[in-house]
Amino acid sequence: MALDFSFSPEHEAVRDMVRRFAQEKMAPLVNEAEENEVFPRELFRQWGELGLLGVRYPQADGGSGMDKLADCIIREEMSVVCQAFASSWSAHTHLGIWPIWRAGTPEQKERFFRPALTGHKISAFGLSEPDGGSNIRALRTRAVKVEGGWRLTGSKLYITNAPIADFMLVAARTDPALTMDAISLFIVELPNPGFVITKLKKESVRSSETGLIHIDDAFVPDDCLLGARTGTYPVILDSLAENRVGVAANALGMARAAFEAASRYANDRLVAGKRIGDYQAIGHKLADMAADIEAARWLVYHGAWQVDQGTLDSAMASKVKLVASETAVRVSENAIRILGGAGIMREYPVGRIHRDTLLYVIGEGTSEIQRNIIARSLGFKS
């Protein structure tokens, strides 16, 4: 069977549609949203109307019936315009609802999943904790069984969409043992009297609202235990592995945006009568950026293809995420260097893009965590 690296006409149509929407509807909102650090909630309804919130889900479940390749195309094109918007989209359309689709009861899907696909409800995913970081098994939030439900106590940190969410998936320990069935997911409707959400101010993805959550004896009814069963830790792992390919596509979009801005500047800026891109020092930077992006692009879409084939493993997901995220940081820094003084002026996007790229060498598992996973797959302890 011959290899085929081309996108289908359907995928190209998705790219054209999202690119047009991002330029016409999202781009005009970016500056104000970033300055005020407020996410424009109306985007969720608009994304829902276009079917962009359900891209990865079957039509029978209310989704758009597309694949991971389409998901990554959407992420790439959104991130070219604004990573903060794409970050909120990602937290909602994957982390916040994928586990419900994968493991939820029919009633939970009808109550939470379907309204989330239309943008009528916004979701968040409460996993990271102040003391746990990327170590899921170290989480301390606990859930104690009581009559009619559960009582949750603990804290969550750096939770995307928390200040604007209508519901949140919350990971909690339902058993003190350090076993796979000791961690469960709960669907928490917000506001909840036991949840105090503090909005955080950030240097990166400023208009994607992020929260610190203090959970104090919060009651969650039995019908909001995901799948009506404890021990959904494997669902968390599966969700994170696939999403690492997704956020790699976000990183690819940011790298592209930085490169395109630097290329425009290198073409327009004249020094001693020459375009600065014609000077070897700048031309070589642009050449390296173009090569890095091309390499990252095909690793990202190979990872997406593996998701669709059901062959993605955690090591491959980590390779995709590591390469794409580090490429985005490197390319965006070089874009600032090419622009010089203009690179740190807010009228140009490269400073914002570089700040935003730093999210993905930290979030969704740091680059060091990705290297640990890859090293273990090679038979080495790390």
So which residues are the catalytic ones?
364
What are the structure tokens assigned to 228, written together?
């009506």
Closest by alpha carbon to 210, among 53, 37, 30, 328? Answer: 37
In 3D, which of 26, 81, 66, 95 has the Cα closest to residue 254? 81
Q: How far is CA 70 from the centre of its chain?
A: 15
CA–CA separation, 223 and 105 (whole Å): 9
- 205 phi and psi, to 5 degrees? 35, 60
Dump strand ranges (E) for the chain.
123-126, 142-146, 149-160, 167-173, 183-189, 195-199, 210-221, 270-271, 274-275
Structure token pair of residue 217 = 């004896």
Q: CA angle 35-257-29, nearest 5°?
A: 30
Kindly state the tokens that stand for 177.
């043992």
Nearest in space to 307 (alpha carbons), one of 1, 90, 56, 125 = 56
By residue count, the chain amounts to 382
- Give the CA angle between residues 93, 98, 99 to the nearest 5°: 145
Question: Residue 48 has which token pair?
Answer: 């829902």
Amino acid sitting at position 36: N
Encoding tokens for residue 95?
A: 């982390």
Determine the number of helices (DSSP H) and then strands (DSSP E) in the chain: 13, 9
Alpha carbon distance 355, 217 (integer Å): 37
Instruction: Scan for tokens 């060498």, then name that residue.
Output: 361
